[in-house]
């Protein structure tokens, strides 16, 4: 066995989940559907979070400019 093969795997590497393209994964149709559903849900959540962030910044700016006439 080569020295490289004997080298213990790093902790971070053990944490990492196998990266397999959805097209190559040995998934059933049901699993693929579930994977896509979860990915879509995550993307919508990220979109909502970004939208929420913009909205909060907008509200802060409006309130501060209205009340104090300045942002800082």
Partner 1 sequence: MSSQTTELFHDASLTPSLGAEPGDWLALLKPRVVSLVVFTGAIGLIIAPGHINPLIGAIAIFCIALGAGAAGAINMWYDRDIDAIMRRTTSRPIPAGKIEAAGALGFGVVLSVISVLLLAMATNLCAAAVLAFSIFYYAVIYTIWLKRRTPQNIVIGGGAGAFPAVIGWAAVTGNIGLLPMVLFFIVFFWTPPHFWSLSLYASTDYEKAGVPMLPVVKGARHTRWNVFVYTLILFPLALSPWFMGLTGWVYGATALVLGTVFVYYAWGVLRDRQDAKGVSLTKDQPARACFKFSILYLFLLFAACAVDRLV
Q: In angstroms, give the least distance from the CB of 17 to partner 1.
A: 4
Pinpoint the alpha helices (H) of 1-72.
3-6, 11-15, 29-68
Q: In angstroms, give the least distance from the CB of 38 to partner 1.
A: 4
Q: Could you give the count of Cα atoms lying within 13 Å of 16 in the half-sphere of its Cβ?
A: 8
C-beta of 51 vs 60, nearer to partner 1: 60
19 sits near partner 1 (criterion: CB under 8 A): yes
29 sits near partner 1 (criterion: CB under 8 A): no
Task: Say how far apart CA 57 and CA 46 lie, in whole Å.
Answer: 17
């Amino acid at each position: 066995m080569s020295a490289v093969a004997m080298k213990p795997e790093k902790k971070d590497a053990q944490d990492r989940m196998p990266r397999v393209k959805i097209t190559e994964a040995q998934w059933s149709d049901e699993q693929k559907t579930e994977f896509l559903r979860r990915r879509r849900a995550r993307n919508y959540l990220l979109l909502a979070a970004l939208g929420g962030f913009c909205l909060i910044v907008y509200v802060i700016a409006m309130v501060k400019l209205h009340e104090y006439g300045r942002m800082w």
